């Protein structure tokens, strides 16, 4: 498969908390605090597909010129935190445009 479309944004996703005790056993996928993932348009390898269902609309909002601050409490335009669909894992999402992190 060839990636012929030049993506303006890439995304970094970092696990910031897992359950009440930060034990990976609390997560069905085994995510651990500090795990990080990067992607452009698709799902990053090893990332929870159920959490991707929540992540993808956030990524699309950014790609469309939206502001994460309007979607996630405490977020800035290109950085915010969200919980997985099960409410166990907390992720930080950061949008990167042209190789440069944005506030």
The per-residue pLDDT for range 65-94, each reduced to its tens digit, is 999 999 999 999 999 999 999 999 999 999
Q: Provide the strand spans (E) within 1-103.
A: 9-18, 36-39, 79-83, 89-97, 100-101
Share of the chain above pLDDT 70, in %: 94
Residue 41 pLDDT level (bands cut at 50, 70, 90): confident
Phi and psi at residue 93, to the nearest 5°: -105, 130
Give me 68's structure tokens. Answer: 């994460």
Give me 72's structure tokens. Answer: 């996630």
Check pLDDT > 80 for residue 48. yes
Give me 14's structure tokens. Answer: 């970092």
Structure confidence at residue 7 (pLDDT): 86
SS3 content of the chain, % helix, strand, coil (to 5): 20, 30, 50
Give me 61's structure tokens. Answer: 């909002």
């Amino acid at each position: 498969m060839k990636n012929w479309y030049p993506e303006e944004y890439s995304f970094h996703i970092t696990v910031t908390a897992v359950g009440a005790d930060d034990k990976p056993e609390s997560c069905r996928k085994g995510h651990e605090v500090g795990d990080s993932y990067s992607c452009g348009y698709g799902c990053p390898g090893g990332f929870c597909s159920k959490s991707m269902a929540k992540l993808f609309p956030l990524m699309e909002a950014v790609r469309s010129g939206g502001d994460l601050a309007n979607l996630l409490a405490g977020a800035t335009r290109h950085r915010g935190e969200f919980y997985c669909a099960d409410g166990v894992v907390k992720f930080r999402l950061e949008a990167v445009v042209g190789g440069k992190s944005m506030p």
